[in-house]
Structure 1
Amino acid sequence: MTTQFKVCNCNQTMPLDASGGEKLGAALGTGALELARQLCRREVGTYLNALQSNDNLVVGCTQEQGLFSELAQQKNSVGTVRFVNLRETGGWSKEAKQSLPKMAALLAAAALPAPEPVPTVEYDSAGHVLLIGPSERVLPWAQRLNNQLEVSVLLTSSSPGNVLLNRSFPTFSGSDIQVSGWLGAFKINWQQSNPIDLETCIRCNACIDVCPENAIDFNYQIDMEKCRSHRDCMKACGAIGAIDFDRSETVRSGEFDLVFDLSDRPLISLHQPPQGYFWAGDSEIRQTEQAMRLVDMVGQFSKPKFFVYKDKLCAHSRNQKIGCNACVEVCSAAAISHNGDQIKVNPNLCVGCGTCTTVCPSGALSYAYPRATDLGMKLKTMLQTYLDAGGQQPALLIHSQAKGRELTEQLGQLFRATGKLQGMPARVIPVELHHTASTGIDLWLSAVAYGAANVLVLMTDEEATQYISAVRQQMEVAQVILSGLGYQGTHLHLINAGTPEQLDKALMALVPAQTPSRSAVFNVVAEKRSSLDFALDHLLKFAPERKEEIALPAGALFGTVTVNKDKCTLCMSCAGACPSSALMDNPDSPQLRFVEKNCVQCGLCEKTCPENAITLTPRLLMTEAARKPVILNEAQPYHCIRCSKPFGTMQMIENMVSKLSLHGAFSGNIDRLKMCSDCRVIDMMENKKEVSIMDVTGSH
């Protein structure tokens, strides 16, 4: 299936004429590129005609994307229709006349085949919502929402101005509230702290009538500061049993589809709370906004499963020793937890930031929306097309599809409206992602290998602080590698911008860094470490300086292991714990071997070693020695004193004899420690037989 391209110069507000259209077509390797002036108005017929064919269609305009998408559905278009913003990202800027290579790059990326669909995560909400908070906030909203949702309320305090005469919905009161779960599957636990159980109370007012201290009002909760424990209210309540000052079972729980939290402070304080949880506090504007979102959360929903987890590669834990904990610590949605010697990722809580995959040193966690292979192909296509079209020193601007897209579009709009901003530079190619923290060192270095002079990651107020720290740390490692290879300049930039003015200033200050003299041709693969190998091999091949070793900052995913031979007994605990086969034993001889290329610096060996004999040193070894096993420690084998079979090292046996010789279980049989396991059993059986004979002889 071929692809047609339709590009509009937006009523000639973009410097793109017929000659430019021909150049774009040549850069894309197609003659099927039509240049329009008013595609969304007088020339819309050409778009409708294109829908009649079986071709895929790429439209270089997003002004009327909603309308054009609807028209494609009505026409039952066979091919796919995609839209690319060329106007705000290039056509409306100070360097618009030089933006043709970038436009070609964006169009070429849009023409790539659609990635394979990813698995989905399903939610089912029947609209049963629990409103939590003080009565003066909760009850008015409960009344408003009661005809749209199945409402229950949990009151954390009462106000005299609110009356609970009608039982329009289940009503509870309590404290110490805990919320867990997600859309369609929330579980709420709380303590029934007041003597009156609101759900049991029938609102007969008998307790109010008899209370001598007026400690009960029409909120049907006892003011314990006024109450003097006459218990007249309990007698008046009688068999109904709603009032109990000595209630032993105070734990309450319930299951709900949605949670509307009107507490002063959110009950879930995560940067990314679970879907279906809405906190509004005391802000009336926020309450209205969240209530509008709330009523739309009824039905069946799905989202992508954003990650792939390969437990065999995970360096999290071995033998209950925690090694790498990076993903657990960085997750702002509490979706990742310790699970024995691996981790557990809850797909219902995962919000798709992808930071866990960015910090994962082994590639056990990989991002799937998009997959590394698909995004790698997109970056490669963009950069190759840009360079082939005559562009120089390309920069990639990775931004989110929410606030990031808004800022990039405002950049072009403000340039067009006021002329005060510069707009998007011609060499800066925007790359829109679900979340900007989902790319890491493998894709960044691959992009530089493909010819990117800069890789920019735009962070706004959407991102959690730990995301920013994690991306900055990974960028530091990647930049140290590039600088260590002699590539001049700063290739990787983390841009913090909340306004188009801040973004404009950052882009104008950008200086191109040095790239390899030849662009790479490899493709990014699914395995993170393999993609890194491809990128590093290319960068080393064309490096201005060839170094054997580059020292890396702490937290790097490359490095070496040093063993203190005076302490090491070659017990091989480290080799047994190593998840990446970087540390290995030798089945034929007491040897500890190490392959540096395999090491992910997870620290499991260091934490497992009983002698504290291991030290990690982050570095990148650029020679073939990194791929070859080296011997970290070795010893002459200790031979069994009974059968002469080698079964340990001299140091190990001497240490064991020294530590256990005074132990009651071994003091009389110290020689058994010098035997192999087989001979030890034989000696024990023979000794037992001798003792039995002596017992029989003695009794005879």
Structure 2
Amino acid sequence: MKTLICDCNRTLPLDPKALQQVLSRRPGASTEGLDTLHTGLCRREAPAFQRAAKQAAASGDELLVACTQEQRLFVELNDLTEGARPVAEQPIRFVNLRETAGWSREGAQATPKMAALIAAAQLPPAAPVATHTYRSGGRCLVIGPAEAAEAAAARLADKLDVSLLLDGAGSALAQRREQAVHSGRITRLAGWLGAFDVAWESSNPIDLDLCTRCNACVEACPEGAIGLDYQVDLSACKSHRDCVRVCDAAGAIDFARAPQASDERFDLILDLRAAPAFSQHQPPQGYFHVPPGADHERRLFDALLALRELVGEFDKPKFFHYDKRLCAHSRNQQTGCSACIAVCSTRAIRSDALLKGKTGGRAPLPAATPVGPGGGPTGGVIVEPALCVGCGACSTVCPSGAMRFAYPDAAHQGQRLRTLLGTYAAAGGRHAALLLHSEGAGRKLVDELGRAARLDKSVNGLPARVIPVPLWHTASVGLELWLMAIAQGASQVMVLLTAEEAPEYRQALAEQMAQGQALLAGLGYGEGHLRLIEARDARDLPALDAALRCAPATTVRQAATMAAQTDKRGTLELALDHLRTQAPATVPEAIALPAAGAPFGSLRVDAERCTLCLSCVGACPSSALADNPERPQLRFIEKNCVQCGLCATTCPEQAITLQPRLLLADEGRARKATRVLHEVPPYACVKCGKPFGTLKAVENMVAKLAGHSAFQGAALERLKMCQDCRVVDMFSNPNETRITDL
């Protein structure tokens, strides 16, 4: 790969020799092109870019340009250069060294960070994944008052097939009918781009389909109850019915008409009402809500531009990968973990329709229900790809790794973070801090901070040790990669939150950071490794600037070299093992964790209540609980427990409580060992002496049935026998009442 660097009219303190020296030692990194420092690559030195583009095409190599300011110009220049490959065939890569490193009070010390950013930009792209396709024919429904709806429709009619649904009375329709017009109260609006199902009910006496807008009814109504929206204000109408008489030819007015229910499918929705149809933070794609207000015109203009382009087929990546076998949502019609459902800001995740009981009283389980690792009938979650926007929050909060962010996956993200940290350290950088931010509003704030540092002496810009990491969404990287980064030498991991993030994401990230910080503090690393930074817009730049200039936190003595795994639990285990071996203080036997979002823990079993019915074993989705075929025991492997709570909700005696913690005893081996949580003496058959149940279970059964008329005398005594002896006794005493349902 050839890399072109430019000091942007000598405003960046670039050191090509130092960059070459560092990158030459990094496996897979390329130093080609770094021997030339450009000053005006986007202007007078543009021919140098064109030569590089032609050379890359001839050699089959890729091209990396260290400038994002003129990205569009370079793409156009490449496509106009004879002999260069079109960007559609071979995209040009870009990396920002200006706002993220050079334009800072510490720009002269930012060479390690620049080398890290270049090395990461040279990594291969993420592997492609399956896509979801939207198909839109351009049928658009505009909902709102008549005048506003018609005005918006007029600006869309040349590109879209527009219909109107009037909401409320009081405004005027144009005299000429340009679009199909409906009126009524919406009873259902659901779906997504290309597939919105809209149902409404109209109880107004005037049928807008039949109305010719002759205005005879408006003129005839003595109360003025009919407006130019051609709807009757029933509160003002005195039932003179003059309007019915003058509308005899068209027959559009009928006060006796029953409410009419209608439903249609549309591809796009423009909603001009005050309250949106969808209450979630992120509405479905293809739905635009523009309420009345101070910025109505600006938001309407943006929505109209977007709507006009939404005709045709559109592909988006399938951002998630779901493995139902690992899901801890439910077993045996009991609900355990619902973290992904709770955090999803688009409501793309719901409980499997097979569930009932505590999940909402749905249809009963069929006879052939899939069986999960715990042995019980499974009932996971369902993800609607059309609603998913790829925030990745579900994968961040999932304790078992059943839900994974797929584009890019955790292994690719981990490789990127490891490359950044490793290159930074190899260049002599110390106390690296990763700043995770979104590619949208987060990137814009980082750029604005860089510009402010260039022009305003009171703003410092990104410190030399803070390495920005743009993500599709900040919620897509979670605890396992944060801790892996700390294990690989990072001093801190910061997450920049802007107005883009839903409240659910903020809470989920805060809970996950509380878990991570509790683990690090318990291992002796102290505080301050994981931080959430909030900055909504440019007005918060001074606060963002101050937040980034925090003191470094304690780092590991030796950075880990292992790679992050696709498996979330596997990555967590690798990171924690390294952090434990590198701990700066004596490691405790266990670290208590906050209850919210805990990924590890133990169980407490109330021996007085537990009858060892083993319902919990059948419910456990991660094989953390097991029985002993030889003895009445409840056994447990703490490493496997994901703290989903299914065992506690399944237990009929309510004898189980969760104990969030990380067990570190015996250098972590105690977590992997099988231990007995509860054990009771077996009950011996009163006839042959063979054990067939637990003492407590049989005693409870006898005590509960002793007063029943069917269990008297020999019948009660049979409850104390094993199955074989019970059958023999029943046939040996034919005159006794037989208990067959045992």
8 Å CA contact 2:19, 2:115 repeated in 1: no
Measure how far apart 1:417 and its partner are: 2.3
Aligned residue for 1:522? Answer: 562
Measure how far apart 1:583 and its partner are: 1.0
Q: How many angstroms apart in 2 are the aligned matches of 1:202 and 1:248?
A: 21
DSSP 3-state at the match of 2:342: helix
Aligned residue for 1:54? Answer: 60
Measure how far apart 1:4 and its partner are: 1.9
Between 207-216 and 493-502, the greater mean CA deviation after superposition: 207-216
For residues 216 and 23 of structure 1, do their structure 2 counterparts lie closer, same or farther at Cα, with a shift above 3 Å needed? same
Measure how far apart 1:113 and its partner are: 1.4
CA RMSD, aligned part only?
2.4
DSSP 3-state at the match of 1:612: coil
Instruction: Select 2:264's aligned residue among 254, 279, 301.
Output: 254
Aligned residues: 688
Q: Deviations over 1:60-90 (max 9, x none)?
A: 1112212223344552167653110001111
Q: Does 1:316 align with 2:345?
A: no
Q: Does 1:76 align with 2:118?
A: no
DSSP 3-state at the match of 1:157: coil
Aligned residue for 1:152? Answer: 163
Q: Does 1:560 align with 2:602?
A: yes
Q: How many angstroms apart in 2 are the aligned matches of 1:234 and 1:646?
A: 88
Q: Does 1:496 align with 2:541?
A: no
Q: Does 1:569 align with 2:578?
A: no
Q: How many angstroms apart in 2 are the aligned matches of 1:181 and 1:287?
A: 22
8 Å CA contact 1:129, 1:256 repeated in 2: yes
For residues 55 and 682 of structure 1, do their structure 2 counterparts lie closer, same or farther at Cα, with a shift above 3 Å needed? farther
For residues 572 and 246 of structure 1, do their structure 2 counterparts lie closer, same or farther at Cα, with a shift above 3 Å needed? farther
Aligned residue for 1:616? Answer: 658
Q: Deviations over 1:569-602 (max 9, x none)?
A: 0011111111111111112221100111111111
Aligned residue for 1:425? Answer: 463
Aligned residue for 1:5? Answer: 3
Instruction: Select 1:580's aligned residue among 614, 622, 628.
Output: 622
8 Å CA contact 1:559, 1:617 repeated in 2: yes
For residues 141 and 569 of structure 1, do their structure 2 counterparts lie closer, same or farther at Cα, with a shift above 3 Å needed? same
Measure how far apart 1:646 and its partner are: 3.5
Q: Does 1:394 align with 2:432?
A: yes
Between 536-545 and 207-216, the greater mean CA deviation after superposition: 207-216
For residues 244 and 604 of structure 1, do their structure 2 counterparts lie closer, same or farther at Cα, with a shift above 3 Å needed? farther
Alignment of 1:231-250 (within 5 A): 231=241, 233-234=243-244, 237=247, 242-250=252-260
DSSP 3-state at the match of 1:181: strand
Give 1:163's aligned amino acid: L
Give 2:582's aligned amino acid: F
Aligned residue for 1:601? Answer: 643
Q: How many angstroms apart in 2 are the aligned matches of 1:548 and 1:80?
A: 52
DSSP 3-state at the match of 1:653: helix
List gaps (5 residues or longer) in structure 1. Answer: 693-700
List gaps (5 residues or longer) in structure 2. Answer: 356-378
Q: How many angstroms apart in 2 are the aligned matches of 1:181 and 1:462?
A: 22
Instruction: Select 1:458's aligned residue among 496, 504, 512.
Output: 496
Measure how far apart 1:179 and its partner are: 1.6
Q: How many angstroms apart in 1 are the aligned matches of 2:314 and 2:123?
A: 28
Alignment of 1:218-367 (within 5 A): 218-231=228-241, 233-234=243-244, 237=247, 242-282=252-292, 283-339=296-352, 340=355, 341-367=379-405
Q: How many angstroms apart in 1 are the aligned matches of 2:478 and 2:493?
A: 11
Measure how far apart 1:251 and its partner are: 2.9
Measure how far apart 1:15 and its partner are: 1.3
8 Å CA contact 2:515, 2:593 repeated in 1: yes
Q: How many angstroms apart in 1 are the aligned matches of 2:181 and 2:607?
A: 69
Give 2:580's aligned amino acid: L
Instruction: Select 2:578's aligned residue among 525, 538, 546.
Output: 538
Instruction: Select 1:39's aligned residue among 38, 41, 45.
Output: 41
For residues 144 and 662 of structure 1, do their structure 2 counterparts lie closer, same or farther at Cα, with a shift above 3 Å needed? same
Instruction: Select 1:178's aligned residue among 163, 183, 188.
Output: 188
Q: How many angstroms apart in 2 are the aligned matches of 1:100 and 1:507?
A: 18
Q: How many angstroms apart in 2 are the aligned matches of 1:157 and 1:469?
A: 38
Q: Deviations over 1:133-181 (max 9, x none)?
A: 1223212222332232111111111225x13543322211112443210
Q: How many angstroms apart in 1 are the aligned matches of 2:30 and 2:157?
A: 59
For residues 485 and 157 of structure 1, do their structure 2 counterparts lie closer, same or farther at Cα, with a shift above 3 Å needed? same
Measure how far apart 1:343 and its partner are: 1.1
For residues 503 and 236 of structure 1, do their structure 2 counterparts lie closer, same or farther at Cα, with a shift above 3 Å needed? same
Between 548-557 and 25-34, the greater mean CA deviation after superposition: 25-34
Q: How many angstroms apart in 2 are the aligned matches of 1:437 and 1:583?
A: 31
Aligned residue for 2:513? Answer: 475
Q: Deviations over 1:164-211 (max 9, x none)?
A: 543322211112443210000001122213222323434455644654
8 Å CA contact 2:203, 2:259 repeated in 1: no
DSSP 3-state at the match of 1:145: coil
Give 2:284's aligned amino acid: P
Measure how far apart 1:619 and its partner are: 0.7
Q: How many angstroms apart in 2 are the aligned matches of 1:663 and 1:253?
A: 59
Give 2:94's aligned amino acid: F
Between 662-671 and 380-389, the greater mean CA deviation after superposition: 662-671
Measure how far apart 1:382 and its partner are: 0.7
Q: How many angstroms apart in 2 are the aligned matches of 1:503 and 1:585?
A: 54
DSSP 3-state at the match of 1:493: strand
Q: How many angstroms apart in 2 are the aligned matches of 1:379 and 1:169?
A: 54
8 Å CA contact 2:520, 2:527 repeated in 1: no
Aligned residue for 2:670? Answer: 625
Give 1:357's aligned amino acid: S
Aligned residue for 2:108? Answer: 97
Measure how far apart 1:240 and its partner are: 6.0
Q: Deviations over 1:19-59 (max 9, x none)?
A: 44544554556442232222222322232222223222222
Measure how far apart 1:438 and its partner are: 1.1
For residues 25 and 475 of structure 1, do their structure 2 counterparts lie closer, same or farther at Cα, with a shift above 3 Å needed? closer
Give 1:379's aligned amino acid: L
Task: Indicate the percent of aligned positions where both proteins have the same amino acid.
Answer: 51
Measure how far apart 1:680 and its partner are: 6.0
Between 535-544 and 206-215, the greater mean CA deviation after superposition: 206-215
8 Å CA contact 1:109, 1:378 repeated in 2: yes
Q: How many angstroms apart in 1 are the aligned matches of 2:351 and 2:723?
A: 36
For residues 435 and 201 of structure 1, do their structure 2 counterparts lie closer, same or farther at Cα, with a shift above 3 Å needed? same
Aligned residue for 1:670? Answer: 716
Q: How many angstroms apart in 2 are the aligned matches of 1:465 and 1:392?
A: 34
Q: How many angstroms apart in 2 are the aligned matches of 1:206 and 1:672?
A: 91
Aligned residue for 2:365? Answer: none
Q: How many angstroms apart in 2 are the aligned matches of 1:268 and 1:686?
A: 70
Between 622-631 and 682-691, the greater mean CA deviation after superposition: 682-691
8 Å CA contact 1:154, 1:172 repeated in 2: yes
Q: How many angstroms apart in 2 are the aligned matches of 1:337 and 1:196?
A: 41
Q: How many angstroms apart in 1 are the aligned matches of 2:498 and 2:156?
A: 34
DSSP 3-state at the match of 1:589: coil
Measure how far apart 1:515 and its partner are: 1.0
Give 1:12's aligned amino acid: R
8 Å CA contact 1:55, 1:79 repeated in 2: no
DSSP 3-state at the match of 1:539: helix
Give 2:441's aligned amino acid: K
DSSP 3-state at the match of 2:634: strand
8 Å CA contact 2:145, 2:166 repeated in 1: yes
For residues 363 and 31 of structure 1, do their structure 2 counterparts lie closer, same or farther at Cα, with a shift above 3 Å needed? closer
Aligned residue for 2:368? Answer: none
Between 667-676 and 194-203, the greater mean CA deviation after superposition: 667-676
Give 1:156's aligned amino acid: D
Measure how far apart 1:659 and its partner are: 2.0
Give 1:284's aligned amino acid: E
Q: How many angstroms apart in 1 are the aligned matches of 2:407 and 2:147?
A: 43
Q: Does 1:657 align with 2:682?
A: no
